[in-house]
Chain A
């Protein structure tokens, strides 16, 4: 069974600064997918960024980028130029090859201060 661990229950950052959220996972599968989802106070789950394990290049989506270290089983999210609207709970998630089922981490609450 896969496990996903987010060791930072809460993080805070000043507006316009950069913050990195950590995620580690454990799996015996060789091909898998990793995701970061954002959950604002509205409760809606919003996909932020995704990474395929067989791709060595780190994914980027505008201000969001990941540092994927396959050997270390680490998948961190970097948010550049933080905005007030980035305030949310962030979940790291893993999906193997079995029907796309997701395993989530515990979440990190990110607060962006003006």
Chain B
């Protein structure tokens, strides 16, 4: 049981390049999330998904696209990377239910992305 995994762990891009970050979970969770972490700002929600084939915008969605074609995978895409997207990206998953079952998120190890 690997939990939540993220690929790649590190990446350096040039401005204007594109890339896709992959998140995979083996806990059969319905909900998945992408956050970014910047110094002094905590984690902020980029996009999230409440089930296969669904996606929704979070707090900071501009410049990113997402897809959830399979329940276990949640992809985050950068079509034209900008230096402002230099950050650490975290994926998380959770499952709907009562109390903590719904609201406890399990995080992946993060991806450090640098855009030059």
Contact = CB atoms under 8 A, between A and B. Distances in A.
A85 to B, nearest CB: 18
Given A44-B109, A100-B31, A101-B33, A95 B103 contact: yes
Contacts of B109: 42-44
Nearest to B90: A45
B30 to A, nearest CB: 9
Interface of B: 31, 33, 35, 40-45, 48, 50, 56, 58, 88, 90, 92, 94, 96, 99-100, 102-105, 107, 109-110, 112
Contact of A52 (B40, B92, B100, B105): B100
A108 to B, nearest CB: 10
A89 B88 CA distance: 14
Given A43-B110, A99-B48, A101-B58, A91 B42 contact: yes
Contact of A102 (B96, B105, B110): B105
Contact of B88 (A43, A52, A107): A43
Contact of A105 (B42, B96, B103, B105): B42
The interface centre, meaning the residue of A4, A47, A101, A105 with most chain B CB atoms within 10 A of its CB, is: A101
18 contacts: A33-B99, A44-B107, A44-B109, A44-B110, A45-B107, A47-B104, A50-B100, A52-B99, A52-B100, A99-B48, A99-B96, A100-B102, A101-B45, A102-B92, A102-B105, A105-B42, A106-B40, A106-B42
A44 to B, nearest CB: 6
B99 A104 contact: no
A79 B45 CA distance: 28
Interface in A1-59: 4, 6, 9, 33, 35, 37, 42-45, 47, 50, 52
